Structure 1
Amino acid sequence: MVRGRGPRTGSTREEHGRGVLGHRVLRATGRPPLRRAVNLGLPAVWGALAISYKMACPLAQQNGLGARVATSAVFFMVGAGLILHVRRVLLRELRQIRRVAGAAQNVLLRPLPPRIDGLDIAAAQLSADHGASIGGDLYEAIATEHGVRVVMGDVRGHGLGAIGTAAAVLGSFREAAHDEAELGGVLRRLERALARHLRERDRAEHSSAGLDPEGPAAEEFVTVLLLEIRGDGEVHALNCGHPWPYLLARGHVRPLVRVEPLPPLGPFPLPARLPAEPCGRLRPGEGLFLHTDGAEDARDARGRFFPLLPALAAAVRDGPVVPQAVLRAVFTGLLRHTGGRPDDDVALLVLHNDRRPLALKQGRVSQHVPR
């Protein structure tokens, strides 16, 4: 009997996404058997040559100065060859690791298009771990029938655990942004995805240690900011412990809203009602600056915080809001302030409303249409 397949759920798609990531990682790390044999066999050959020279060559048995010099030269050449071989293998492994990191980053934090539904976008992330290309910060922007929906989040901690949590939240958002009519429904989906991920991770960790799972650790949490920018420029938001964005316009910068956010996702359940916070209208020419707390909390050698608001004001003081220019100015200032070594991951996302206003006969603006 042939069984029909049910509707494709969010968890199934998340498993498919993990499968794609695993396929790309395996493809990036695959090593031909011949290369493995060469990597293992070459040092053995060098060692065998050195031993054969010492045991069989008559010159190596002599104690004269010339014989000792020749023996030392032989062993020096063998040692130098082994060092060069090891160095070449390590450099090859480093290139493989960087390819793996690039493949993972393209799946987890895929590059955003420069323009979505009339909004110019620029985003970037800076990892605090030296050599790392991804961390616990996350962002995404998607055009839906409900408007352009944006998420910006920050997972507590660093390392593989934070990356896995970020992947779970992002995978859920990419589905829920299209499926849920209300922004509150999207946030509830993120909460369920996070709880499921933490349960599965906790069960796997306890099973590997031979212990019984006790449930997800209470210390795990994710700050999340959800934005919905509708076709007429109206902005609605839900904020769980994340910094509020800044509204950018030529010559001035101000916080988008000054409402106390909800607690971060994880430690506490969401309230029964989740009405989205109205944030006014994003008019043509204006922009939004979203960031993680690593931008405002970055300190210099004297312990002073990075002046984010003055940096933004300087970036839009003499010209229009250009996302790439704002991003470049803030990152340049932040790296200069921290001496090129920030203590926390930093993610920035800049939106600019480039929609053309459509006026009525009476001269009033009715809506904004993308160019």
Structure 2
Amino acid sequence: MICNRAGVPGAGRPPTSLRRPGRRRLLALGLPTAWGAAAVTYKLSCPLAQQQGLGARAVTSALFFAVGTGLILHVRRALLRELRQARRVAGAAQSALLRPLPPRIGGLSVAAAQLSADRGAAIGGDLYEVVATEHGVRVVMGDVRGHGIAAIGTAAAVLGSFREAAHDEADLGGVLRRLERALGRHLRQRSHGEHPPAGPGPESDSPVAEEFVTVVVLEIGADGEVRALNCGHPWPYVLSGRGVEPLARADPLPPLGPFPLPPGLPVRHCGQLQPGEALFLHTDGAEDVRDARGRFFPLSKVLAETLRRHPSVVPHAVLGSVFTALLHHTRGAPSDDIALLALRNDRSRRPASGSPGATRPAGTHARPTPHL
């Protein structure tokens, strides 16, 4: 299920079925009871039902068949109504977790969407957020190990911490440490709730101790300078006139969870994102998904082809092209959740100090363009 992060109409008021539960329950129980009582009354008191002739038996069978069919249709209608109600509630809760992103944040054009591997699900263990702060636009993209309700709870804990830390912490390393602490608290609470300790044994025996989250945290300054910290997540791509290239090539830190962060966090300076250039963030499902022949999805080639068709790097067009190619590659059945996020710099050009038209600060080397 592809889910663009759009608002949910009516999410602020309870649905009609929740405002009138008594009437719904009365209809759900009263109608089948009335039908059953009428059928039993007919069988016990109607003279025609007591006859043994073929015509009488046919009438009785038709009556009970009609009552049974009506009961089945009524139960089916009730179940479908409850399913629609559950989906509406789940959609409202999921939109509260992954809030709809506005089309512009801090001078950047933004587009984000998800492709869920589970039919009917809008989100899973993938997470992302973009926040404009006094320190610059800060971005997080992450992937929680596993699926289901537990993964959604972990994603909520990490996202909630990021939304506060992005404003509070002046340094990008401080933001990442806040995420680590929030994840640790959440996993400890989950461990005690799901697997209460039977004794003084180590908590590492719990399956929750093996949980982890891959995450990349970015900061885009007012001058377009990009700083990044990466814990086990795929590096974003830069989409520009030079083509498609990774934001960095260094090995990331280990994922959050299994190992503590090092004392000194190596914040990586990735050069400037020039006006018209874009960052493309993704979870590992976008590159690890395979087709029927076992071939991985060629994400970089698809992005390069998209750039040739859309040189202006429209974020929504980029996401649409990638999702179309993903669905074609997997025949509409991806094996993993996929989240994509595109940000284009729409700010006016600010030359760096030094020679006119310089695009990178001193000491930053231009990224080589890979051969695709």
Give the TM-score taking structure 2 as reference length. 0.88
Does the alignment pair 1:341 with 2:333? yes
Tell me which amino acid in the other structure corresponds to 2:129: E
Does the alignment pair 1:152 with 2:152? no
Q: 1:181 aligns with which of 160, 170, 185?
A: 170
CA deviations 1:146-199 (Å, max 9, x no partner) are 000000000000000000000000000000000000010000000000000011
Deviation, 1:211, is 4.2
Distance 2:34 2:228 in 1: 66
Does the alignment pair 1:136 with 2:125? yes
Does the alignment pair 1:261 with 2:219? no
Query: SS state of the match for residue 125, structure 1?
Result: strand
Query: SS state of the match for residue 315, structure 1?
Result: helix
Query: SS state of the match for residue 226, structure 1?
Result: strand
Query: SS state of the match for residue 300, structure 1?
Result: coil
Matches within 5 A, 1:55-204: 55-204=44-193
Matches within 5 A, 1:228-307: 228-250=219-241, 252-307=243-298
C-alpha contact 2:212 2:257 (8 A) present in aligned 1: yes
CA deviations 1:10-36 (Å, max 9, x no partner) are xxxxxxxxxxxxxx7994573511211
Distance 1:159 1:119 in 2: 32
Tell me which amino acid in the other structure corresponds to 1:284: P
C-alpha contact 1:25 1:100 (8 A) present in aligned 2: no
CA deviations 1:94-134 (Å, max 9, x no partner) are 11111112111111001111101110000001111111111
The unaligned stretches of length 5 or more in structure 1 are 1-23
Distance 2:352 2:44 in 1: 98
Deviation, 1:50, is 1.2
Distance 2:264 2:157 in 1: 24
The aligned counterpart of 2:215 is 224
Aligned residues: 342
Distance 2:354 2:220 in 1: 26
Distance 1:268 1:259 in 2: 19
C-alpha contact 1:151 1:225 (8 A) present in aligned 2: yes
C-alpha contact 1:299 1:306 (8 A) present in aligned 2: yes
Distance 2:28 2:34 in 1: 11
The aligned counterpart of 2:3 is none
The aligned counterpart of 2:313 is 321
C-alpha contact 1:153 1:242 (8 A) present in aligned 2: yes
C-alpha contact 1:123 1:350 (8 A) present in aligned 2: yes
Q: CA 1:105–1:364 in 2, change beyond 3 Å: closer, same or farther?
A: same
Q: CA 1:206–1:303 in 2, change beyond 3 Å: closer, same or farther?
A: same
Q: CA 1:95–1:214 in 2, change beyond 3 Å: closer, same or farther?
A: farther
Distance 1:156 1:26 in 2: 34
Does the alignment pair 1:308 with 2:299? yes
Distance 2:275 2:89 in 1: 40
C-alpha contact 2:223 2:350 (8 A) present in aligned 1: no
The unaligned stretches of length 5 or more in structure 2 are 1-10, 360-372
CA deviations 1:50-107 (Å, max 9, x no partner) are 1111111111111111101100111111011111111110111111111112111111
Tell me which amino acid in the other structure corresponds to 2:264: R
Distance 1:361 1:221 in 2: 42
Tell me which amino acid in the other structure corresponds to 1:327: L
The aligned counterpart of 1:15 is none
Distance 2:285 2:159 in 1: 19
Distance 2:175 2:342 in 1: 22
C-alpha contact 2:127 2:143 (8 A) present in aligned 1: yes
Give the TM-score taking structure 1 as reference length. 0.88
Query: SS state of the match for residue 181, structure 1?
Result: coil
C-alpha contact 1:284 1:356 (8 A) present in aligned 2: yes
Distance 1:69 1:361 in 2: 95
Q: CA 1:362–1:338 in 2, change beyond 3 Å: closer, same or farther?
A: closer
